[in-house]
Amino acid sequence: MEKNKIERINFLAKKSRVQGLTDEEKAEQKTLRDEYIASVKKNLTSQLDNTYIVRPDGTKTKVNKKK
C-alpha cells in the first residue's frame, strides 16, 4: 500500500477522534481500511508460503494454510 494512503488513513482516524467525519470521509476511511487489511493479509500469506518448521530431528515441514 502506498505511503500517501497510509497517511490518509491516519489523518482520517485523528480527525475522527477530534471533530468527527462527514459521510464521504467515513466511506473513504472504510475503503482505505479495507484495502490496508487486504494488503496486510496478502503480505502475511506470502510470508507464510515461504515458512518451514524445522523439527528437532532436522526434518522440515512446510506451513500449511488452514481453511
Q: What is the DSSP letter of 12?
A: H
Q: Is residue 53 assigned to a domain?
A: yes
pTM of the complete model beyond 0.95: no
Q: Is residue 67 assigned to a domain?
A: no
CATH code (residue 38): 1.10.287.540
For residue 37, the enclosing domain spans 3-62
Provide the domain count of the chain.
1
DSSP 14-64: HHHHHT---HHHHHHHHHHHHHHHHHHHHHHHHHHHT-EEEPTTS-EEEPP
How many Å apart are CA 61 and CA 24, to the nearest integer?
48
Tens digit of each residue's pLDDT (9 = 90 or more) over 8-32: 999 999 999 999 999 999 999 999 9
Tens digit of each residue's pLDDT (9 = 90 or more) over 24-62: 999 999 999 999 999 999 999 899 889 999 999 999 998
